[in-house]
Amino acid sequence: MGRHRAGRTVGYLVILLLLCLGLVDDLLTQVRLHHAQVSLAVTRRALDRSSRELDSAQQTLAVTNAAKVADQAALSQLSGELASAQQRLTQAKQGLELQNYNITTLNTCVSGVLQAVKDIQAGQAQAAISAISGVARPCQNLQGSNPGGPAYPFDFPDPDVLDVAGTYFAYATNSAGGNIQIIKSNDLSHWKTVGDALPKPASWASTGYTWAPGVLHHRRRFLLYYSTVRHHGLVSEQCISVATARHPGGPFVDSSQAPLLCQAALGGSIDPAPYTDASGKPYLTWKSNGGAGQPATIWAEALSPSGITMAPHSSPTTLLRPTQPWEGSVVEGAFMWSSAGSYYLFYSGNNWNSASYAIGVALCTGPLGPCTKPLDGPFYISKSNLAGPGGASLFRDPQGNPWVAFHAWLPGAVGYPNARLLFVRPLASLGNLPPP
């Protein structure tokens, strides 16, 4: 009995031992499982971090590659621009050599112009004229000289050219050259600054307002008709006056006590241009700006035999008004011209401060009209080497060949304060005149 009880006790102990061993093993398994789970979580976090770092590295690589591509493109573009610049520099050097351009000439021209500007700002008009005159030739060399123009390297609007015994005198709107600029030439290509044709306008005229001159050689003296302004308190009138001289180079003197023309009710009178017929009788054409229900108008009237007053018992006659779209409601700068018994009225139309400005032509039965427009558009317009031509005046050389002087902007430099340069060309080069 005792032996049997001892056997059961041993059995219980074995079972208990086995249970303990199972519990221990299970506990160890759970511990290992927990460690494995912790290790897995750590591994996953490390994997996530590595994945993010990989993504960041890939993005950085992509940005770096893109920057590299951009740098290569920029370098390629820069290389192309450098090659183009080198080519332009080579062409510029060739052009400079071809046209005898040089830095000394450029500096001389620029220095003279800057000095003229300083003189004008200081109120030293004569000094400005001298400065401009002193650099006219160097500036002309830079610009290039050739028949047809541009013939003069400075601002020279509303030109009028007169041939006096083979010497050409050109007059233009006030600028650094004076109240009325004057230059001269023996070949229509090289021009020399003479100075101010009208050092002192009429006593009634406002200082600084003189433009659009027209000059007539009449009865052994020269008559200079010009536009100016008369002030009456707060009221300003655009008027026309006339000055006289014994020599085409002036100085012209205006001793008048009142304007020759004003037409205040019609917006004022400007742009005078004298004309003499085959018998030597003088006439004047001009423009009224428009007013009293009338548009801008070109007028004509006979002058007295002296040329300094209107003819007795005469009255203005209407020659032209704007009727065509290209004119932009503007007609001005008229100039009467006769050839083989036919009368042509050259005029400007549209906005003077634009490339749309152009030269028109009308046919007239005489100096006092009537005039008609034979063309549907302008006679001469902007070209590849000039823009906004206008202010045409005509003259003949000693051989009797007709020439036309006009002003125009250079392409890319259109509009004030850019310069309107002088062009002088054979009339035939502008085109065929309409038949009478």
Non-local (6+) Cβ contacts of 6 within 8 A are none
Residue spans per domain, the chain: 1-98, 152-430
Taking Cα atoms as reference points, which of 261, 347, 350, 352 lies closest to residue 309?
261
Residue 208's Cβ-count burial label (10 Å; 0-12, 13-18, 19+) is exposed
Across 312-380, the runs of DSSP E, i.e. the strands, are 317-320, 331-339, 342-349, 358-364, 371-372
User: 271 near 332, Cβ under 8 Å?
Assistant: yes
Is the peptide bond prior to 426 cis by the omega test (within 30 degrees of 0)? no
Single-letter amino acid, residue 377: G
* C-alpha–C-alpha distance, residues 417 and 414, integer Å: 9
- Smallest CA-to-CA distance from 109 within 173, 152, 59, 166 is with 152
Q: What are φ and ψ of residue 116, in 5° steps?
A: -65, -40
With residue 61 as reference, give the H or E element that holds it. helix 2-98
Query: What is the predicted pLDDT for the residue at 174?
Result: 87
pLDDT at position 82: 46
> Which SS3 state, helix, strand or coil, does residue 264 take?
helix
d(CA 359, CA 379): 6
pTM given for the model: 0.72
Neighbours of 333 (CB within 10 A): 29
pLDDT in tens, the chain (436 residues): 555 566 666 666 656 655 655 555 555 556 666 665 666 666 677 666 766 766 666 666 555 555 565 556 544 544 554 444 455 545 545 554 544 445 565 566 656 666 666 765 676 666 666 666 666 666 655 555 454 558 998 899 999 999 999 999 999 998 877 899 999 999 998 899 999 999 999 999 998 899 999 999 999 999 999 999 998 878 899 999 999 999 999 999 999 999 999 999 999 999 999 999 999 999 999 999 998 889 999 999 999 999 999 999 999 999 999 999 999 999 999 999 999 999 999 999 999 999 999 999 999 999 999 999 999 999 999 999 999 999 999 999 999 999 999 999 999 999 999 999 999 999 999 999 999 8
- The CATH number assigned to the domain with range 152-430 reads 2.115.10.20
Residue type, 55: D
Rg (CA), the chain: 44
Per-residue pLDDT, 49:
73
Where b means 16+ CB within 10 Å and e means fewer, 167-191 reads: ebbbbbbbbbbbbbbbbbbeebeeb
